[in-house]
Amino acid sequence: MAVISGAEYIDRINQLKSEIWIDGKKVEGLISNHPAFRGIMKSKAELYDLQKDIKWKEFLVHKDNKLQKEYGMSFLIPETRNDLAKRRKATQLWARHSAGLMGRSPDYMNTALSSFAASVHLLKDQKNCFPENILKVYEYAAERDFSFTHTFVNPQKNRSSLAFLDEDSTNARVVKETKDGIIVKGAKLLATQGGITDELIVFSSPGPIDAAEAHAFSIPSNTEGLKFICRRSFAANGPAYDSPLSGRFEEMDSVIVFDNVLVPWDRVFFYNNKEAADKFFVNSYFAPFTLHQIVSRQVVKTEFVLGLAQLIVETINISEYQHVQSKVAEIIKGLECAKALLTQSELEAAADQQGVMVPERTPLYVAVNMFQEIYPRFIEIIQLLGASGMVTLPEQTQFQAEIGEKLEHYLQAFEVGGRERVGIFNLAFDLCMSAFGSRQTLYEQFFFGDPVRLSQIIYHSYPKSGHVSFAKQFLDRK
C-alpha cells in the first residue's frame, strides 16, 4: 500500500468509528459527512491525492531502494542534506495547498514519529523502555501511510510548580499492568484533529510528574475506552465565498479521556520511567525534525500573509503611504528571517553516528519562537491595513439578491467591483477575525509549547561563554 489516495484515507477513518463527542452527542454515522469534520477531511484527502498525482509524486513520495517500496516523504529519515531539502520541499508543497493553515497536515506527526524512530538508541537497555516497538509502529505506519494525532500535555488544572503534590490529579496515568499491556486512566490536555487520524500518539512531556504519568505509546483512534471530546466547531458550512478558509481547514481540538484504556505491550514505547520521559523528549531528534517541518510550513504561511496584505494594499490603493509600506515590510522581514533560519538549519546539519542527518536545532528554535511573537503582529497588520473593509462584508446571498447590483457598485474598490472586493476581505476576515482565524493565532502562539518557556530553552542551551569572554577582552584593553 505505502502511499494512499484521499478516498482511502476517508474510507479508513470512517471505518474506525472512533468515539468522538461533539455538541453533547456521540458522532454516529460517517465522520466524513459530519459538518464539523467534512471540510478538513476533504482537505486532508486532497493532500493524499497529490501524492498520487504524477505532477507532484516525485516531490511527495520517496523510494526506498533497499526495500523497493515507495513511502510518503515525511517518513524519510534523512541521511544527507539533500534528504532534508526533499523533506522541506514536500512539506512546503503540501503547505501551499492550505496556505500553511493546516498545522496538522499528516507530515507533522509522521515527522515526529520518524524522529522517534531515528532516536531509539537513547532508550536501549533502559528500564521499562521498548525501543523496538517504536520501530515497529514507524514501519507499520509508513507502510500504510497513516496519519496521527498526539497528546503530550496534562490537563490545565493546576500549573503551580508544586502541582505535582496534588493528590487528586486528573492526569492520564498507568493504573495497572496486565499480561496484555498497561491500563491507562485519566485525561490529557488536547489533540488537534483527534478522531480523524488513524492513531493517537501519547507522550508525557518533561516536567515534575509522577512516574505513573511518565509514558509513551501509540494506539488506534478506535481503541476501546478512548474518547475524543471536541470543542465547539469553527467550521463554516456556508459558501466558500463567505468563509474561504474555515470551511476547509478547521482542524478541531479535542480533550482526550482514557477510560481504563488497554495499551497492548507491543504499542508501549516506555512507561513508568520519568527519566525516559524527560531525556527522550529533550535529547531525541523530536525537536530538530519537527521544527524543520514547522518552520518550512510557517514560511509558506508567511508568504500567504504577505500576499494577502499586499492584495489589500492594492485593492484600496494605499501603497503611497509610508506607514503602509513599513507594515508590509514587517511581514517581509519576518519571511526573510524565517527562510534564512531554515536554510541555516540545513547548512549546519550534521550526521550522527547512525548516519542520521540532523538539522541544527538552534536556528529552528529561534524561528519558531520568533513566529510566536510575529504572527499575532501580522494579523494585527492586516486588520490595520483593512480597517472597515474587515467588516463591510455582505454575504454571497446578498450579491445574488436584488440588492446585489447596488452592492457591486457601492462596495467597489480601486480597480475591482464590489463582489471581488468583498471576496478579498472575506479571506482577510477569515484569517484574522473569525473563530477559525483567532484559533489560528492561538495555535501559532502555543502549539509547540509556551513561548516563555521556549525562549528559556534558547537562553539555557545557547553557548554564551565565548561571547562573554569577547566582551571581557574590552575591559583589559589598554
Residues that bind ligand FAD (CB under 6 A): 149-153, 156, 159, 189-192, 253, 439, 442-443, 446-447, 449-450, 452-453
- Decide whether 105 or 396 has the Cβ nearer to ligand FAD: 105
Q: How far is the CB of 159 from ligand FAD (least distance, A)?
A: 4
Q: How far is the CB of 456 from ligand FAD (least distance, A)?
A: 8
Residues 6+ apart with CB under 8 A from 273: 126, 127, 128, 129, 211, 214, 215
Q: How far is the CB of 411 from ligand FAD (least distance, A)?
A: 33
SS (H, E, C) the chain: CCCCCHHHHHHHHHHHCCEEEECCEECCCCHHHCCCCHHHHHHHHHHHHHHHCCCCHHHHEEEECCCCEEEEHHHCCCCCHHHHHHHHHHHHHHHHHCCCCCCCCHHHHHHHHHHHHCCHHHHCCCCCECHHHHHHHHHHHHHHCCCEEEECCCCCCCCCCCHHHCCCCCECEEEEECCCEEEEEEEEEEEECCCCCCEEEEECCCCCCCHHHCCEEEEECCCCCEEEEECCCCCCCCCCCCCCCHHHHCCCEEEEEEEEEEEEHHHEEECCCHHHHHHHHHHCCHHHHHHHHHHHHHHHHHHHHHHHHHHHHHHCCCCCCHHHHHHHHHHHHHHHHHHHHHHHHHHCCEECCCCCEECCHHHHHHHHHHHHHHHHHHHHHHHHHHHHHHCCCCCHHHHHCCCHHHHHHHCCCCCCCHHHHHHHHHHHHHHHCCHHHHHHHHHHHHCCCCHHHHHHHHHHHCCCHHHHHHHHHHHHCC
Q: How far is the CB of 120 from ligand FAD (least distance, A)?
A: 21
- Decide whether 251 or 346 has the Cβ nearer to ligand FAD: 251
Q: How far is the CB of 13 from ligand FAD (least distance, A)?
A: 17
- Decide whether 295 or 349 has the Cβ nearer to ligand FAD: 295
Q: How far is the CB of 188 from ligand FAD (least distance, A)?
A: 7
Q: How far is the CB of 181 from ligand FAD (least distance, A)?
A: 22
Task: Give me the residue label for grid cell 583589559.
Answer: 476
Q: How far is the CB of 442 from ligand FAD (least distance, A)?
A: 5
Q: How far is the CB of 405 from ligand FAD (least distance, A)?
A: 41
Q: How far is the CB of 454 from ligand FAD (least distance, A)?
A: 9
Q: How far is residue 212's CA from residue 206's CA, in Å, rounded to a whole number?
A: 13
Q: How far is residue 445's CA from residue 366's CA, in Å, rounded to a whole number?
A: 14
- Decide whether 149 or 246 has the Cβ nearer to ligand FAD: 149
Q: How far is the CB of 152 from ligand FAD (least distance, A)?
A: 4
Cα-to-chain-centroid distance, residue 71: 21
Q: How far is the CB of 153 from ligand FAD (least distance, A)?
A: 5
Q: Which of 202, 199, 228, 198 is nearest to 19 (CA)?
A: 228
- Decide whether 149 or 169 has the Cβ nearer to ligand FAD: 149
Q: How far is residue 11's CA from residue 110's CA, in Å, rounded to a whole number?
A: 20
- Decide whether 220 or 404 has the Cβ nearer to ligand FAD: 220
- Decide whether 376 or 394 has the Cβ nearer to ligand FAD: 376
- Decide whether 192 or 218 has the Cβ nearer to ligand FAD: 192
- Decide whether 156 or 473 has the Cβ nearer to ligand FAD: 156
Q: How far is residue 406's CA from residue 412's CA, in Å, rounded to a whole number?
A: 10
- Decide whether 189 or 332 has the Cβ nearer to ligand FAD: 189
First-to-final CA distance of the chain: 72
- Decide whether 113 or 190 has the Cβ nearer to ligand FAD: 190
- Decide whether 157 or 467 has the Cβ nearer to ligand FAD: 157
